[in-house]
Amino acid sequence: MLLPERPTTPALLDRFGRLHDYLRVSVTDRCNFRCVYCLPEDGTTWLPRDGVLHYEEIVRVVRVLAPMGLRRVRLTGGEPTIRRDIEALVAGIAAVPGITDLTMTTNAHRFATQAAALKTAGLRRVNISIDSLDPARFAAITRGGDLHAVLAGIDAAVDAGLLPVKLNMVVMGGQNDDEVVSMARWALERAPAVQLRFIEYMPFDQRLHAGVPAAELRRRLEEAFGALVPVRERQGGGPATHWQLDPLVVGFIAPITEHFCASCNRLRLLADGHLRTCLAHEDTPSLRDVLRAGTSDDELGTLLRKIVRGKPAGHQAELDGGTAFEGVMTQIGG
């Protein structure tokens, strides 16, 4: 029997004409680090195991979204590499027709032993968080992370061909902003296999750290290296603006000082199954309950379309005022 074809026209358009072809999936809210900008020192209240989406449930959401226009998926967390048999999830998503890009954001603490298997399973590229090149400061920011393990993880990602490896640095005034130039010098030696991106600190609930505007970081880099040349071609599916510091590509993700809400193409599947259309807003029902209530793929597709149509225009967070982001970063996935 022939099954009815799913619509091939993009259905993931919202009221503002934004097409959503990119899904970030937080595969676990747990983490082996406790980064100061992300988690409280004593952790948080972890979701019970059954409160987290199962792999089959995540793959099903991707399978229903793909014919509606989804093309790229990023696995994040919490720390995705600590969820058991993460390669199985990678392989499951990589096999969904229409998904052309499958990536991961990781702290890379375990990556030295995992990179090759993840590549074989279907992972294309990886973003690795690294906020300092000083072992003691790195341990302080991550509350216990081992810089050398992460550096070995970066090497393994390059060796496995997960290229370019994008290094993410969250910049905090008075904590690691004095390393912006030295981080760029270090990355330059490894370019073009690595790229470097500076991320503005986003305040969650409490405003614990000082953000540094991307424009100020560009100014400091230009002082050290001369003029940065804007990269015209679009790089990847994300919101970073890119500049060339030959042979290094430097990106800036500035959710606070350079809002990119107007071109936002992202959906976020949280560890507990909520689908967030905007990082800053807790605005949607739990897909987990819907998935576990025997809903058909057609009903799920209708619900997903409705959620996307209801996406808010943007957020109002500012460097030292405005609203803070709602929720827990490890559940949301960045």
Report yes or no: 152 and 112 within 8 Å, Cβ to Cβ.
yes
105: contact with ligand SAM by CB under 6 A: yes
β-bridge mates for residue 19, sequence order: 13
| Spatial CB neighbours of 54, under 8 Å, sequence gap ≥ 6 | none
329: contact with ligand SAM by CB under 6 A: yes
Buried (b) or exposed (e) across 205-218, using 16+ Cβ within 10 A? eeeebebbbbeebb
187 or 304: CB nearest ligand SAM: 187
Binding mask 114-153 for ligand SF4 (x = CB under 6 A): ---------------x------------------------
Residues belonging to the chain = 334
265: contact with ligand SAM by CB under 6 A: no
* Tokens describing residue 304: 């997903």
35: contact with ligand SF4 by CB under 6 A: yes
47 or 304: CB nearest ligand SF4: 47
Selected from 38, 99, 248, 271, the binder of ligand SF4 by CB under 6 A is: 38
What's the min distance (Å) between Cβ of 277 and ligand SF4? 21
114: contact with ligand SAM by CB under 6 A: no
Residue with tokens 């990781």: 106
What's the min distance (Å) between Cβ of 278 and ligand SF4? 19
Please report, as residue ranges, which positions from 9 to 38 form the binding site for ligand SAM (by CB under 6 A). 31, 37-38
The one of ligand SAM, ligand SF4, none whose footprint includes residue 252, by CB under 5 to 8 A per kind, is none
Torsions phi, psi for 164 (to 5 deg): -75, 145
* Tokens describing residue 193: 């296999």
165: contact with ligand SAM by CB under 6 A: no
Q: In the complex, which residues of this chain contact ligand SAM (CB under 6 A)?
A: 31, 37-38, 76-77, 79, 105-107, 129, 168, 170, 199, 201-202, 204, 329-330, 333-334
Q: Applying CB under 6 A, which residues contact ligand SF4?
A: 31, 33-35, 38-39, 77-79, 107, 129, 329-330
